[in-house]
Amino acid sequence: MKAIACLRRRDQRGMRIDMLCGKEIRPIASLAIGALVAQWRSEFPVLRTRVHGKPIVYLDNAATTQKPRVVIDAVSRFYAEDNANVHRGVHTLSQRATDAFETARARVKGFLHAAASDEIIFVRGATEAINLVAQGYAGPLLVPGDEILVSAMEHHSNIVPWQKICQQTGAQLRVVPINEAGEFRFPEYARLLSPRTRLVAVTHVSNAVGSVNDIARICAVAHARGIPVLVDGAQAIAHLPVDVRALDCDFYVFSGHKCFGPTGIGVLYGKRARLEAMPPWQVGGDMVRSVSFDRTEYMPIPHRFEAGTPDISGAIGLGAAMDFISTIGLDAIGAHEQQLLDYASGGIARIPGVRIVGTAAHKAGILSFVIDGVHPHDIGSILDRDGIAVRTGHHCAMPAMEHFGLPSGTARASFAFYNTVQEVEQFVQAVHRVQEMFR
């Protein structure tokens, strides 16, 4: 954080002014932060990749993040040295694998500031975690006429599972609207909560436009009426400090691949009382204490929700990713990514015919935009020729795109701490070239 503070002091004294797209842009880089980012980048082998003969500029971090060497090594080391199934094995390799797996659970517990490790459930990703809560928690409680509340900015993974459970039970899905900036509308939220509301499910950070929701406030309003809250933290976990006890959410979910960990691994955090009240969703091996042909007794949490052989290497890799993020520090990460977002937003806003979609006062490092007369897929394809990777389309958030009147979606650049000011400059200049091509 000293480097970040130095960066800001230098900027306030007046650093040099660069010309970008014919406009004056104040740069955000300093030698100190530049050296730090270079050090961070050196940990990611894929960032040395070339695309179409050019160094890759990877700005698709909201879709998935790249993996540092420490995560790759942790996964490789498990398979090379400790590979065995976890739990109940008495031989040495099984005990070592179990220790590494449960140590990873403890690392996630610490990263989220949960009360206990048994509040951490390993799943395949945020999508499976939401389905688990929909089927295991909401399903047994819902009756016809009950309501589940979501927001208009949700990812499909935080819409479709609730639609399905509503169809199964006769409950109804209600939607909290967002304003034209892409912000959660609290007055409407308070009005939509009713005696029939059984659960609120809302994203921490919008994957489509980057809006950051005030989760503590959302939880407080719901809890005042005795309503539990599930938070989709997939886009927040690698960019914002998350303290589930301070937020007071009942459930928090995220995917490992969004926070520099492996694919196919994710986490469901749940308050102990909520988890203990839930029946298991998937059943089978390793989540049972005893089985006969007459009855089955299930294991306590967290194991009752982890049927079958888990993704052991994925959990170990996720634990390594948690440690890696903690070493850098989420405050430093957030400060750097905010600087990148501000710099990119300023540059994009100065290009004629280009419009930023999502202008919330509080945003994470996600920049969605459209160019007049240009399909988002064309934008992405042309940028790819310059080695610049962005996401295009509806971003698995069709209702949000419909809200903004954009059926074809947007182009989306999303930043991580390993991105640089120079990469942002390349991106802005490339967008300017696309705009000129179609002018």
Helices (H) and strands (E) in the chain, counts: 16, 19
Residues 201 and 130: beta-carbon distance below 8 Å = yes
Residue whose structure tokens are 């899905």: 173
21, 219, 259, 396: which one is catalytic?
396
Residue whose structure tokens are 């405050």: 331
Residues 219 and 197: beta-carbon distance below 8 Å = no
Q: What sign does the dihedral 430-431-434-439 (CA atoms) show?
A: negative
Tokens read off for 270: 């749940």
d(Cα 358, Cα 366) in Å, to the nearest integer?
9
Residues 238 and 259: beta-carbon distance below 8 Å = yes
Residue whose structure tokens are 């659960």: 199
Closest CA to 263 of 123, 102, 108, 98: 123
Tell me, yes or no, if 396 is annotated catalytic.
yes
Residues 253 and 129: beta-carbon distance below 8 Å = yes
Closest CA to 28 of 423, 433, 432, 431: 423
Determine the 3-state secondary structure of 332 from DSSP.
Answer: helix
Strand stretches in 228-360, DSSP E = 229-232, 251-255, 266-270, 288-291, 296-298, 354-357
Cis peptide before 399 (omega within 30 of 0): no
Angle at 375 between CA 422 and CA 126, to 5 degrees: 70
d(Cα 298, Cα 131) in Å, to the nearest integer?
20
Q: Please give the helix or strand (H or E) that residue 391 lies within, else none.
A: strand 391-393
- In this structure, what DSSP letter does residue 299 have? P
Q: Which residues are catalytic?
A: 396
